[in-house]
Structure 1
Amino acid sequence: MAILDRQATTLALAHALSAAERGLAVIPLSRTKLPALRSPHHDDPDPGRPPCHGECGRFGHGVHDASADPARVRELFAAAPRATGYGIACGLPPYQLIGVDLDTKTGTDAPAALRALARRHLFAVPATVVVLTPSGGRHLWLSGPAGVVVPNSASRLAPGIDIRGAGGYLVGPGSRTAHGVYALAPGTAHLPPAPCPPALLCLLLPPPPAPGHRTHPAGDRSGAGLVRFVLGAPEGQRNARLFWAACRAYENGIGPALTAPLITAATTTGLPEREARATITSAARRATRHRAA
């Protein structure tokens, strides 16, 4: 048994290093899919102390330990000799990874629910990395725009659809757990995480505030921060950033006033004006639906 465990740890490290080569930050996991390193503050006598996210310099802070540096990854696994898998941190550069976890254990058809959402909100589920889970589910890897924080959620979009965002992690392919091995779906290993469709991205973000409770970016009631966000969009993220910014603008009651500046910012980055106008119109429709709901 000890030999098998060592083999599983060696394989997990090899897979983790391969993921790190792609720029993905990883941590060692146990057979239970939990971080393999115990918190150094587990027996802390002062429960009122602010939580440590690794500032102490020791391992054992879960996803906050995640790294794409091969030397640090080896150190993490050396400190976790019983690790049999690895986790991939979400929400970090270069991909700002978003995990869409389509579960089958709930007795619902999560893939069908995702397709229904796609039809209802007019987006296509892109070809991307897909990881098959031992229970028959699947994880879709998507890339989010830099600067946009997607929260973790469970069954908020639909029953059986969980989202892994900032502060969360996905079990990496090749990991061995108590229930089996996680594996890449055939034909997806060569794919990069596909950009998250703008309409889906908006669904993943926190819902807009209730009517009468408008909020504005801190210290920015003009929307200048949203315009700067669009201006900083790299190729491949221009439409997603514009849609996100327009959604925030309409939620905050400054959408109509900010339409022209947002279009100017989008066209400056290279997005065609017609496409920019269509994207902002879609954001306005979404805000109208939320107000009417």
Structure 2
Amino acid sequence: MASTDRYPRQAATLALAHALSAAERGLAVIPLSRTKLPALRSPHRDDPVPAGPPCHGECGRLGHGVYDASTDPARIRELFGAAPWATGYGIACGLPPHHLIGVDLDIKSDTDSAASLRALALRHRFTVPPTIIVLTPSGGRHLWLTGPPDVVVPNSAGRLAPGIDIRGAGGYLVGPGSRTAHGVYATAPGTARLAPAPCPRSLLRLLLPPPRPHRSGGAVSTAGDAHGRGLVQFVLAAHEGQRNTRLFWAACRAFEDGIGPELTEDLIAAAVRTGLTAREARGTLASAARMTTHRLTTHRLTRDAPGAPDAPDAPDTPG
């Protein structure tokens, strides 16, 4: 029995060691299983569907995926201790100090993602700087870049170009040294000692959702107008028990109106004043960005479908 148990124990020990090493560089980590998914199951998997935003760890239990990510060695050991079957680790994107952005160049038979990235760089006049590159077992590559602290880059799959996925706020990258069912992730030669490079401005613009016209009057809204200030005040008026819900609602309205990126820091500052941590607030904003993007896309598809009725959207009200 000891011989059959040795390999899983060694893999878990190596995964923890790699995760602790990454944390020393300021990268928040979580344990992953051999399927590349978070190793700990959600403590809310059997709960009824919540009326408000999903729990991001406010309950105090483990199992909230990327929202469990930490740079604290004691916390990391606790996470891996609760998941002794973990064989890898994930690195949370979008968190300080690096505000990591992952460019995932997938390898598929009908797609040359590297050529697509080169074409984008030529068309939009940017150069991908020397940075950390992680080689995946399938032959793909993960490019690590850093973003500005006041910008929330959403996750996307194939939106930038076929075969190119983006890991942003609320997402994670499989860390080098992780062992999965398909093989081991490894740092490309010559890049292990590099720091993640700043994302070129032209590329960063491509990663952000385009601003949407304001629904009243057609003018583009800005973070400094009455609407933006009203959303910030709405968050500031939150009492205990409704802080996260109010922040989520305000963030959804901001992203719907195209002022989410500009209003991000104001909303975070307001949420911190009500008692949330900056990390909790950023997680809620990332969820709002993802949900709003999905909802707007679904609405457009439904609206543009043949025979779709021309009915106005139902008004949103805070929960």
Note if 1:47 corresponds to 2:49.
yes
DSSP 3-state at the match of 2:111: coil
Note if 1:171 corresponds to 2:171.
no
Give 1:215's match in structure 2, choosing from 213, 220, 245.
Answer: 220
In the alignment, is the contact (CA less than 8 A) between 1:105 and 1:135 conserved in 2? no
DSSP 3-state at the match of 1:156: strand
In the alignment, is the contact (CA less than 8 A) between 1:31 and 1:84 conserved in 2? yes
Distance of aligned partners of 1:106 and 1:210 in 2 relative to their CA distance in 1, 3 Å threshold: farther
The Cα shift of 1:216 comes to 2.1
Among the aligned pairs, what percent are the same residue?
A: 76
The Cα shift of 1:210 comes to 5.5
The Cα shift of 1:105 comes to 2.6
DSSP 3-state at the match of 1:67: coil
In the alignment, is the contact (CA less than 8 A) between 2:91 and 2:174 conserved in 1? yes
TM-score norm. by structure 2 comes to 0.67
User: For residue 144 of structure 2, what is the aligned residue in structure 1?
Assistant: 141
User: For residue 183 of structure 1, what is the aligned residue in structure 2?
Assistant: 186
The Cα shift of 1:207 comes to 1.6
- Aligned equivalents of 1:217, 1:151: Cα separation in 2: 20
Number of aligned pairs?
Answer: 225
User: For residue 33 of structure 1, what is the aligned residue in structure 2?
Assistant: 36
Question: What are the within-5 Å matches in structure 2 for residues 3-42 of structure 1?
Answer: 3-42=6-45
What letter corresponds to residue 9 of structure 2 in structure 1?
A: R
The Cα shift of 1:197 comes to 0.2
DSSP 3-state at the match of 2:98: coil
In the alignment, is the contact (CA less than 8 A) between 1:102 and 1:162 conserved in 2? yes
User: For residue 86 of structure 1, what is the aligned residue in structure 2?
Assistant: 89
The Cα shift of 1:217 comes to 3.3
DSSP 3-state at the match of 1:20: helix
- Aligned equivalents of 2:35, 2:218: Cα separation in 1: 42
For structure 2, the 5+ residue unaligned runs are 230-257, 260-319
The Cα shift of 1:3 comes to 1.5
The Cα shift of 1:208 comes to 2.8
**Can you list the C-alpha shifts for 1:78-126, whole angstroms capped at 9, x where unaligned?**
0001000000000000110000000003531101100100000000011
In the alignment, is the contact (CA less than 8 A) between 1:98 and 1:164 conserved in 2? yes
User: For residue 71 of structure 1, what is the aligned residue in structure 2?
Assistant: 74
Note if 1:61 corresponds to 2:46.
no
What letter corresponds to residue 222 of structure 2 in structure 1?
A: P
DSSP 3-state at the match of 2:149: coil
User: For residue 262 of structure 2, what is the aligned residue in structure 1?
Assistant: none
Distance of aligned partners of 1:213 and 1:175 in 2 relative to their CA distance in 1, 3 Å threshold: farther
User: How much is the aligned-residue C-alpha RMSD, in angstroms?
Assistant: 2.1
- Aligned equivalents of 2:25, 2:98: Cα separation in 1: 10
What letter corresponds to residue 14 of structure 1 in structure 2?
A: A
